[in-house]
Chains A and B, each alone.
Chain A
């Protein structure tokens, strides 16, 4: 889980969650929106510095990035051989294009920056705190409430699913066979859905008995100090610099 290191102490951990959410979310959007190499590289540098400042262990960062990056590389591979434009070299029936390579590199670096900032954002605060910050900005509470209770039930469902697989295994199916076995998979899925449905009925009763009226209320407890304003503004300036690099160079061209 991404917030495993949410209890460490770092300049990012101590940053007011509202500032953190606002400034890092903007930075993520900015990273996604730029394309020129200077802006992209600058953003990547900033992302690396931010993740270092967050003190989230490097090993955890690599571990988190591995799977999405493999997926990205697969996609990128097709881009490189199908993009068209100037060919770099050909191998049998595959042609590698320079433009494709260039685009692929930019996409990879952008994705890396975004993912690093993403880890810095969600890895240094507990999810419920981020949700509270979201509702501070006017995000509907019903949605944050939904997200948080989904979060709670993902763990429960996962446990259920594991138990169902173990039960299937005990009846003579190995995990591998079980997964490839359509009948077992279908049974497991159907059982999980039925159990969850019944669970949701009981959960509704539990909520109703504690006065649920369709609204989620929370206690807010944010206090921004001058240092928060300083850190938050600094992060916003980083975003501004990235945009400046992108558009300044474009105008010059």
Chain B
């Protein structure tokens, strides 16, 4: 049997790592004979760059041998010949198991690490069906357009390599009408995303010729991203897909691929609505990997106060160093702005020295906002080794194959164990050593990991949670399904046993009409356009550079509002531009190249206004109310921030409409009496307590509702705590909070009491991430006894006898939240942080 050439390689033996040839090595870049190995580079870095204090911890993930398949799956000989010729033979054990299951028609989910050959598990059965059955069709779903592009290139490579002639194509919002027509008529393998499937493919299933009648496989990639509200919508879309297939007489086999999550089998079963087999025992080889946790140093500021330096300061030095020493490295930053800042600082530092400039020129940025063609270019040159390094947002975390990298720098905790594992997995894909650096930020959660470095490799990845019986979601999709085909009681096996009852309600509300035992839409409409699977807007702003009149990028609506207001300094590929005009009608932003010493940060203010009260009741210490609210995020202005020093050098005004969300909120309005009682401890005490309660209530509610914590948000204002659904029209979570108010409050108190920390930690009452919103936030963040304040407030809200807070002793670890202000967090990052906080809280209680 073919042994993995790297199996017995000593981790220090560079030559073996380089000469290994198993698996995909199309992109292998031969290192020059004298180049140092990653571990040698690490020794150098440790010796020269970081003090022992900064290098908090280091642990190794040992190399692992390949486990090859003992049996041969029943693939067509043409395919096997091609795999042998391209060096992908023998298959790994988990690949063979997954293929055998798929080929016999069982639904599977493959949950394994990055680069373990999941793609082949998904594509080989599809191609096999194409060879064996001349009429077979397949549908491949990817969460993003970029991923479909990438995967289509792979698929074409495989098909052309085998020498088949098959019509395949991407069917998404960017597809030309003529190509769309051709794919509908004769496409054998279609790649698309859930949104397109929902809004365009399923409603027009009649126009897809033989596609649905002969659908053999449905492949769903990156299923771990299909979670929360989005995932719950996709679950309904997949049930609609199965119903359409049944109508046309097919019953496709599902193949799902997931990153490592806690519950792949359960998650995918719920997603597709029937049991799946889980393939988990990863047989792919893995190279030795070192994970280093790095805490930036504390420095004295000019005014004598001490502050920890930001994580970018380390990344700016470390990335060029790794690239210079020949390690291809990816650097993950949390926001688009940080990506630009890191790149800009690297370029600035390199100025004047030729060798450093050469290194800096081999580092490119990657984020949303660039032209798709530019992004493809960066992916390709990273893959083929032309680029030495890339600075990216989490956009490169999912799927897209950028080849095996030697190093990965993660600037600030990425928000979840799942994300951390994905990002770290970008380095060292098959064999050879690799390095991962996690540079801690100033957020409480980052510093918590610094104090508990063991939990970094002990943490298990999160559960992916979806809700398949949320009436808000199910009812919306029933209406969509009625457009596609009349609904009848027979559909209840797919669309839920409440189908008839739901349809009756929808009929009474005049959305459906019954005729001959079937329900039809009661009026002419195209309901799919009214149901969005994701909350993010699909509208894009085009960014035009005045002068050369070039389109240099595009950005989605919310991101554009937050970074492309008039007067903003927009950093694009490390160059500064000033925004001259934001044209809302045509979704066009005009910017002009300009040299500035500062960048800008938008200031926002959130306000929650009740538009209609649904129900109200008195609870101890407060009133609990369920209401329809309007959440307005007003852009109050922007501040100018000097590069490097991050000092504030001025303000500007923003004239933009607020971002609005109409949703449902659970409101806890503190009694006059409660507020009066708190006065003896000061306003910061009460605020801190309210934030503590709000934050924990929200996290625990997410657990109760089985939803993603990022689908709920909270806001504290005056004597009010608002806990609302982050979905237009509401989705039922805050209603649950209102119903379970008291029992939720006792859960919150239990979580606080049982947390072993002294004065508060990110696992209980500390905010998951620092925010820049207002002075009030700072007041709350700096308050030293948040746990006591929360406990005191909880006793009142539960009607217990009053609690005497201990307002002395060791203060909570507050990490100078004011300096330097991190760029505005985007919502996803915030969501991930909360997820981690929830996770650690569970572990805390087990102890």
Chain B associates with chain A: no
